[in-house]
């Protein structure tokens, strides 16, 4: 079935999207002279950011968010407090004590007025970090293959809610819709629901999905890419249930707040954020037990004895556990499945929270709101949370992104695309392919060292939660 889906996947209109930021502006121009194709032009060929990208793009190293333990750049120059810093300090002051790392992370990323994600596009060469859908069109296309396979296993329902959590620029969904456009029964069944907290990114998704508004409500539109209704929500709970559902969460879990615990002579203490006498943020250990300790206890019951023995630090994400329960209950009662892809571990996470600004690792407490914060995803905790929430679901994986995309047939896809491109486009495809499925530095790279593509294939993991009636999803068989 996979082979058939791949051969029918729509042709490579955006092949050259040069989503890899290794290109300077002049090198983008060949994309506009691609051979004509029956497929509608995809958004990336008209990306506002990319068409405006300058020669600087050619010298930017694109950092994905998985590389851990990178020594951050420290900047100690005093700067006036931003609105977010003032807000965080006032919360700490009025609370009369430090706040958890999770609360800090949540404020920094999603504070409605000045959270990191709320007011801008943060992706790509001009932003802070790069994600797989932005690396290559093949990523969204392969997710499309996975989605059609699941829909077939679900008995080809006439109506499906396709929910994406944290769609960023909307690129994955654009590629999925273009790639599956020949499966008319599938695309006609879709009602797309985008769960996105950022008004700025909602706008960008609306634009990239080529939406026209239905009535005057901006929260509901029709994407002209596949004639599909698109709705926006700020939480999963807001998405109507009672309909067979497919959920995609790519690099969403890593943005959910984590609590950090540290072993001390007093036992396990939660790490908190306080303001020091120099008026700078600093980490302190909580003097007494905190409510999140309940989740620590729960998580430790899922850990192996070896894990428990070795640990000095633990990171847990109650928000991720709660979200997974909501996903599992929905899938358990409505049918369908969820695909979670993120960087993380098939084990308990020790100390992974990191901050990235302009493709560099920076100190977590420096100038909050100006850098992305993200943490490794704890896949066993997702598995156990799902199994605990519903008897009607089964959990598959995690497997590496490389295995996942490889088993879905990305090799056939790249070969097909390579048949119809020039040298520059072929280089873009090959480096994109390496970044998606390779491990470490690309061996074939002949360009400047600092632009060597780094494979994300082993550091990113894929997991599926499906309704038991659907059997085992591809490619976890």
Which residues of this chain interact with ligand SAH, rule CB under 6 A? 109-110, 117, 123, 131, 133-134, 166-168, 195-198, 201, 250-252, 255
Comparing CB distances to ligand SAH, the nearer of 44 and 150 is: 44
- Structure tokens given for 149: 């396979």
Under a CB-based contact definition with an 8 Å cutoff, are residues 214 and 44 in contact? no
Q: How far is the CB of 7 from ligand SAH (least distance, A)?
A: 27
Q: How far is the CB of 251 from ligand SAH (least distance, A)?
A: 4
Comparing CB distances to ligand SAH, the nearer of 154 and 165 is: 165
| Sign of the C-alpha dihedral computed for residues 214, 217, 222 and 225 taken in this order | positive
Comparing CB distances to ligand SAH, the nearer of 252 and 476 is: 252
Q: How far is the CB of 166 from ligand SAH (least distance, A)?
A: 2
Which residues, at least 6 apart from 436, have a Cβ–Cβ distance to it below 8 Å? 132, 135, 136, 138, 139, 401, 402, 405, 410, 455, 456, 457
Comparing CB distances to ligand SAH, the nearer of 166 and 398 is: 166
Write down the number of H helices and E strands in the chain. Answer: 17, 20
Question: Which single residue is written with the structure tokens 């700067």?
Answer: 79
| Sign of the C-alpha dihedral computed for residues 178, 436, 444 and 414 taken in this order | negative
Comparing CB distances to ligand SAH, the nearer of 124 and 337 is: 124
Q: How far is the CB of 235 from ligand SAH (least distance, A)?
A: 7
CA distance 204 to 448: 32
Comparing CB distances to ligand SAH, the nearer of 123 and 379 is: 123
Q: How far is the CB of 91 from ligand SAH (least distance, A)?
A: 18
Under a CB-based contact definition with an 8 Å cutoff, are residues 108 and 373 in contact? yes
Q: How far is the CB of 341 from ligand SAH (least distance, A)?
A: 8
Q: How many CB atoms lie within 10 A of CB 7?
A: 11
Comparing CB distances to ligand SAH, the nearer of 169 and 383 is: 169
DSSP class per residue in 326-368: HHHHHHHHH-EEEEEEEEEESS-B-S--EEEETTEEE-TTSST
Comparing CB distances to ligand SAH, the nearer of 250 and 384 is: 250
Strand partners, 212: 222
CA distance 119 to 100: 24
Q: How far is the CB of 242 from ligand SAH (least distance, A)?
A: 22
Comparing CB distances to ligand SAH, the nearer of 197 and 399 is: 197
Comparing CB distances to ligand SAH, the nearer of 257 and 335 is: 257
Strand partners, 344: 377
Q: How far is the CB of 256 from ligand SAH (least distance, A)?
A: 6
Q: How far is the CB of 110 from ligand SAH (least distance, A)?
A: 5
Q: How far is the CB of 230 from ligand SAH (least distance, A)?
A: 15
Under a CB-based contact definition with an 8 Å cutoff, are residues 226 and 148 in contact? no
Q: How far is the CB of 42 from ligand SAH (least distance, A)?
A: 15
Instruction: Report the Cα–Cα distance between both ends of the chain, in Å, rounded.
Output: 13
Under a CB-based contact definition with an 8 Å cutoff, are residues 71 and 43 in contact? no
Under a CB-based contact definition with an 8 Å cutoff, are residues 474 and 408 in contact? yes
Under a CB-based contact definition with an 8 Å cutoff, are residues 299 and 348 in contact? yes
Q: How far is the CB of 233 from ligand SAH (least distance, A)?
A: 9
Comparing CB distances to ligand SAH, the nearer of 201 and 371 is: 201
Q: Quick one: 206 exposed, middle or buried, by C-beta within 10 A (0-12, 13-18, 19+)?
A: buried
Which residues, at least 6 apart from 203, have a Cβ–Cβ distance to it below 8 Å? none
Residue least distant from ligand SAH (Cβ): 166
Comparing CB distances to ligand SAH, the nearer of 250 and 299 is: 250
Give the residue among 91, 84, 103 at the shortest CA–CA distance from 270: 103
């Amino acid at each position: 079935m996979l082979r058939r889906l791949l051969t029918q996947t729509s042709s490579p209109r955006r092949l050259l999207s040069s989503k890899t930021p290794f290109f300077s502006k002049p090198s983008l121009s060949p994309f506009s002279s691609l051979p004509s194709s029956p497929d509608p032009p995809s958004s990336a060929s008209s990306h506002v950011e990319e068409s405006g990208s300058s020669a600087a793009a050619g010298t930017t190293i694109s950092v994905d968010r998985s590389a851990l333990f990178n020594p951050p750049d420290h900047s100690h120059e005093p700067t006036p407090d931003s609105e977010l810093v003032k807000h965080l300090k006032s919360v700490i002051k009025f609370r009369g004590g430090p706040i958890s790392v999770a609360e800090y992370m949540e404020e920094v990323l999603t504070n409605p007025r000045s959270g990191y994600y709320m007011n801008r596009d943060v992706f790509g060469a001009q932003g802070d970090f790069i994600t797989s859908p932005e690396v290559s069109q093949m990523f969204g296309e392969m997710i499309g293959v996975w989605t059609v396979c699941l829909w077939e296993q679900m008995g080809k329902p006439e109506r499906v809610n396709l929910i994406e959590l944290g769609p960023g620029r909307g690129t994955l969904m654009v590629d999925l819709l273009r790639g599956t456009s020949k499966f008319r029964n599938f695309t006609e069944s879709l009602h797309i629901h985008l769960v996105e907290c950022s008004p700025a990114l909602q706008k960008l998704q609306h634009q990239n999905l080529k939406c026209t508004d239905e009535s005057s409500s901006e929260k509901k539109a029709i994407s002209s890419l596949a004639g599909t209704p698109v709705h926006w929500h700020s939480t999963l709970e807001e998405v109507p249930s009672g309909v067979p559902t497919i959920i995609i969460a790519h690099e969403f879990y890593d943005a959910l707040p984590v609590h950090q615990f540290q072993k001390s002579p007093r036992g396990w203490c939660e790490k908190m954020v306080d303001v020091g006498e120099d008026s700078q943020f600093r980490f302190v250990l909580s003097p007494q037990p905190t409510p999140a300790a309940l989740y620590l206890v729960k998580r430790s019951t899922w850990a192996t004895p070896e894990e428990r023995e070795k640990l000095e630090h633990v990171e847990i994400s109650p928000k991720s556990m709660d979200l997974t329960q909501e996903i599992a209950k929905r899938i358990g009662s409505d049918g369908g499945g969820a695909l979670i892809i993120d960087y993380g571990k098939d084990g308990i996470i020790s100390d992974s929270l990191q901050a990235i600004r302009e493709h560099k690792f920076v100190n977590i407490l420096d100038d909050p709101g100006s850098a992305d914060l993200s943490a490794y995803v704890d896949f066993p905790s997702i598995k156990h949370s799902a199994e605990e929430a519903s008897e009607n679901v089964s959990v598959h994986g995690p497997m590496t992104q490389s295995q996942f995309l490889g088993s879905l047939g990305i090799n056939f896809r790249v070969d097909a695309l390579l048949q119809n491109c020039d040298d520059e486009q072929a280089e873009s495809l090959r480096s994109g392919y390496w970044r998606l499925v390779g491990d470490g530095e690309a061996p074939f790279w002949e360009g400047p060292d600092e632009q060597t593509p780094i494979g994300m294939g082993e550091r990113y993991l894929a997991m599926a939660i499906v309704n038991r009636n659907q059997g085992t999803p591809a490619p976890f068989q």
